[in-house]
Amino acid sequence: MEWVVSDELLGTFVPILVYWVYSGFYMLLGSGSLDNYRLHSRKDEDVKNLVSKGTVVKGVVLQQAIQALVAIFLFTVTRNDDTATDTKASVVVLLRQFVTAMLILDTWQYFMHRYMHHNKFLYRHIHSQHHRLVVPYAFGALYNHPLEGLLLDTIGGALSFLLSGMSPRASIFFFSFATIKTVDDHCGLWLPGNPFHVLFRNNTAYHDVHHQLYGSKYNFSQPFFSIWDRLFGTYMPCSLEKREGGGFEARPLKEYKAD
């Protein structure tokens, strides 16, 4: 008897697998001789971060469990047994769905993320958990308060799936790509030839600025574009400069240094 795994099941669990495989790849790179490509020194990672790696793993697993439950529920209530549209969707249609989903996810996360920084109660009790990682690293990308994970990532993902009209099969690729991009933004390495650094201004250095005290009210956009930061005046451009002792440092441009 042939055992077939449904698109809904793959759409639920493949992005989780991608998260750990891709972040594990970065952790292996970071443990090697790549200090000349780090945005922070190993010492800074050990001293400045306010939470242990074990606690981060537990927090990410909890968020992913919640995401999986919501995804199963969402796929169940929107299930369409007619899969013909999955195989016949043109490249143009899929591209339109992906771009739409990216814009929806970016819009939702920008305004929710920004509000969590400006509302003192929400920041102190919820969003500050993510900023315990002053020096971000790959598998800490989804380390959030469970409520924040639900509001920003899970609901934002659900809206992008529903409003873009993509199928469960297409969602496997979209959410895997979004996961890879999010992990890359937190990897803490500026590697030559990284396509995300070439194609996206919203990248590892861009998001690293946000994790620093001087940039906490800037660069809210995630995970794809910097559109809303530019439109609403929360964009902090930065330059990469060689750090004494090896590696790079993302520094704000001169006009922002006094902020």
- What is the Cα–Cα distance from 29 to 27, expressed in whole angstroms? 5
Q: For the beta carbon of residue 220, count every other beta carbon within 10 angstroms.
A: 24
- What is the Cα–Cα distance from 225 to 106, expressed in whole angstroms? 7
Written as tens digits, the pLDDT of the chain (259 aa) is: 456 689 999 999 999 999 999 999 998 887 667 889 999 998 999 999 999 999 999 999 999 999 999 999 999 999 876 544 455 678 999 999 999 999 999 999 999 999 999 999 999 999 999 999 999 999 999 999 999 999 999 999 999 999 999 999 999 999 999 999 999 999 999 999 999 999 999 999 999 999 998 899 999 999 999 999 999 999 999 999 998 888 999 988 856 554 4
Q: Residue 214: which domain range?
A: 7-78+94-256
In this structure, what DSSP letter does residue 243 have? P
Is 14 a domain residue?
Answer: yes
Is 48 a domain residue?
Answer: yes
Contacts of 130 (CB under 8 A, 6+ apart): 143, 144, 145, 148
b/e for 46-72, b at 16 or more Cβ within 10 A? eeebeeeeeebeebbebbbebbeebbe
- What is the Cα–Cα distance from 221 to 105, expressed in whole angstroms? 10
Phi (first) and psi of residue 189, to 5 degrees:
-120, 135
Is 228 a domain residue?
Answer: yes
Please answer whether residues 194 and 202 qualify as being in contact, where contact means their C-beta atoms are separated by less than 8 angstroms. no
CA-based angle 71:12:89, to the nearest 5?
A: 95
Is 57 a domain residue?
Answer: yes
Q: Please count the structural domains in the chain.
A: 1
Query: Can you give the pLDDT at residue 254?
Result: 58
Tokens encoding 78: 């929107």
Is 1 a domain residue?
Answer: no
pTM score of the predicted model: 0.92
Which H helix or E strand runs over 229? helix 227-231
Q: Single out the residue of 205, 187, 196 nearest to residue 24, CA to CA.
A: 187
